[in-house]
């Protein structure tokens, strides 16, 4: 299977219609798929463990990903935009407007995670683990994106058009922004560790001797350490931004939705200001965009990782949890369209790029998940 991915990437790199970016996207998606599956890097599961079980060890992986990615982004930004005093923003970085619509979208995304059982990236890698519930959730997100396009112009005129696009280096420079980010992450980590009364150990037991059996156990069976998993995501995110675009998993889904619904005449052809913004922005296209190859890599690589660790198993689906997954997916799609991305495209890529919008989405998505968990929506 790994050989098949590498061969496909080679074929894509040699294809004039797709090019090197498609090949790199497939390889980056493959790396993400392995890291998602082996690190159990599902935002909702991480939030649920912290809120419901008071196990905050997995939560540290998110903080680690932001920290490592922020360091990498700061280095790259210094090459693209050495002068932060101007009004310019780094090219393609996911720095979005901070508006009431973003707050509502973040809350809706958190509730959608609770209803469907995962975020969009979580559903993608869980397909590789055999999740049948991921299919209605992702189908719901396609429809949800359509509802987002339908409501965009109204929300844009009332809330988003005049909202500030706050990029911390404009005020603090790269050094100050990085220092503030790392300080904030450290404070959150301290609070999380104190709150985590039932937290699992931060690291797995070290094998007495290193051999093939212990390596297989560490790489394929045991859950990867949270700080290591987060660091891997930070490195992948930095590389993705340097070579192609910031990490995100919704551009292909939103592109498919926009192309179909616009073709049916169900959404406006003119979406005010959208195409000028930064984020997981949809285009009208029937071709697979780079993000589509990244998604394919996530699904196939997570399947390979699950299969190698004997974790692949078709999970039971019922009419009840299929409906909650569909409704949750609707919320995930709508909110991802309004927020211009999801937990990967806005929360990770946004905070790593020192965008205030990333932190607002982090806080509101966590709050939405907390509301959903307290209402026991994840148990419906």
Q: 36, 93, 47: which is closest to 295 by C-alpha?
A: 36
Does residue 184 surpass a pLDDT of 60? Answer: yes
The answer to whether 26 and 9 have CB atoms below 8 angstroms apart is: yes
Say which DSSP state 355 is in: B
Residue 218 has what pLDDT? 76
At 140, list the tokens. 């719901």
- How far apart (Å, rounded) are the C-alpha atoms in residues 380 and 371? 14
Helix segments in 92-168, DSSP class H: 100-116, 120-127, 134-155
Question: Measured at the alpha carbon of residue 147, what is the angle toward residues 145 and 152, in degrees to the nearest 5?
Answer: 90
Residue 380 has what pLDDT? 87
Three-class HEC string of 79-100: HHCCCCCCCCCCCCCCCCCCCH
Does residue 258 surpass a pLDDT of 90? Answer: yes
128: containing domain: 2-379
Residue in the structure block whose two tokens are 């959903």: 372
User: The pTM is what?
Assistant: 0.94
Q: How many domains does the chain have?
A: 1
Give tens-digit pLDDT for 7-37: 677 667 666 555 568 889 999 999 999 999 9
Give tens-digit pLDDT for 127-156: 999 999 999 999 999 999 999 999 999 999
The answer to whether 93 and 255 have CB atoms below 8 angstroms apart is: no
Provide mean pLDDT across the span 65-74: 98
At 68, list the tokens. 């490592």
Does residue 283 surpass a pLDDT of 60? Answer: yes
DSSP, collapsed to helix, strand or coil, labels residue 142 as: helix
Residue 208 has what pLDDT? 61
Residue 206 has what pLDDT? 59
If one compares 18 and 365, the residue with the highest pLDDT of the two is: 365
State percent of the chain over pLDDT 90: 81
The answer to whether 120 and 179 have CB atoms below 8 angstroms apart is: no
Which value, in Å, is the radius of gyration of the alpha carbons in the chain?
20
Does residue 204 surpass a pLDDT of 90? Answer: no
């Amino acid at each position: 299977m790994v050989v098949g991915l590498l061969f496909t990437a080679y074929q894509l790199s040699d294809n004039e219609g797709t090019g090197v970016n498609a090949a790199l996207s497939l390889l980056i998606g493959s790396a993400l798929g392995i890291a998602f599956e082996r690190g159990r890097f599902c935002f909702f599961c991480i939030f649920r463990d912290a809120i419901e079980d008071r196990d905050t060890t997995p939560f540290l992986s998110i903080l680690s990903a932001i920290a490592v990615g922020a360091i990498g982004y700061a280095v790259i930004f210094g090459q693209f935009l050495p002068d932060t005093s101007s009004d310019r923003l780094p090219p393609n970085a996911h720095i979005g407007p901070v508006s009431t619509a973003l707050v509502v979208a973040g809350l809706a995304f958190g509730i959608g995670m609770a209803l469907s059982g995962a975020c969009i990236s979580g559903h993608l890698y869980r397909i590789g683990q055999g999740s049948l519930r991921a299919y209605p959730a992702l189908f719901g997100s396609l429809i949800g994106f359509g509802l987002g396009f339908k409501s965009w112009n109204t929300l844009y005129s009332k809330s988003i058009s005049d909202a500030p696009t706050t990029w911390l280096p404009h005020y603090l420079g790269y050094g100050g922004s990085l220092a503030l980010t790392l300080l904030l992450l450290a404070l959150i980590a301290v609070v999380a560790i104190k709150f985590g009364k039932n937290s699992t150990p931060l690291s797995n037991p070290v094998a007495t001797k290193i051999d093939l059996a212990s390596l297989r156990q560490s790489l394929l069976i045991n859950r990867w350490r949270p700080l290591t998993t987060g660091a891997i995501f930070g490195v992948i995110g930095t590389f993705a931004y340097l070579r192609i675009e910031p990490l995100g998993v919704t551009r292909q889904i939103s592109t498919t939705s926009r192309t179909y619904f616009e073709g049916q005449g169900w959404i406006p052809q003119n979406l005010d200001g959208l195409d000028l913004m930064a984020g997981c922005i949809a285009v009208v296209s029937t071709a697979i965009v780079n993000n589509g190859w990244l998604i394919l890599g996530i699904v196939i690589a997570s399947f390979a990782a699950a299969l190698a660790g004997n974790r692949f198993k078709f999970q039971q689906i019922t009419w009840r949890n299929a409906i909650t997954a569909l409704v949750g997916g609707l919320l995930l799609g709508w909110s991802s369209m309004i927020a211009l991305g999801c937990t990967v495209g806005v929360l990770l890529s946004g905070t790593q790029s020192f965008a205030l919008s990333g932190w607002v989405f982090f806080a509101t998505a966590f709050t939405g998940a907390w509301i959903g968990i307290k209402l026991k929506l994840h148990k419906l």
